[in-house]
Amino acid sequence: GWCPLSPTGAQTTQLLVEPPWRPAVLWDRVTLTCQGSGTTGATTWYKDGQLWGQQGLDHLSVTESGTYTCYRPGSGHSPPIRVLDDELVLQVPARALLEGDTVTLHCRG
């Protein structure tokens, strides 16, 4: 799921989250994928503002709660994604929601 959505045609870096629910929770075995128009294979990952994980890979398996971003030369930094370690969460689909949309909520713990 994409979140947030950038304007059509914008040259930006985004984080794709699997499974596609917000908030992301650690016990869901979250995988982040850095996507954008920038250089493939040159991704830099950050957790809570610090360099994190193996650099250069477009995918990151999250093992700790925190706020994650990625950077790609040519398209910049992604918006941040928070991964929580909460025991009980109310999740919404990780996509742009508009007023009047029918939404499935997940209450999970």
pLDDT of residue 95: 81
- Rounded mean pLDDT, 58-68: 95
pLDDT score of 1 more than 70: no
Q: Report the chain's mean pLDDT, rounded to a whole number.
A: 87
For the chain, the structural domain boundaries read: 14-108
54/18: higher pLDDT: 18
Partners of 21 in beta bridges:
93
Q: Which residues contact 98 (CB under 8 A, 6 or more apart)?
A: none
CATH number of 14-108, picked from 1.20.1250.20, 2.60.40.10, 3.20.20.330, 3.30.230.10: 2.60.40.10
Residues 4-39: tens digit of each pLDDT:
444 444 568 999 999 999 899 999 999 999 998 877
> What 3-state DSSP class applies to 46?
strand
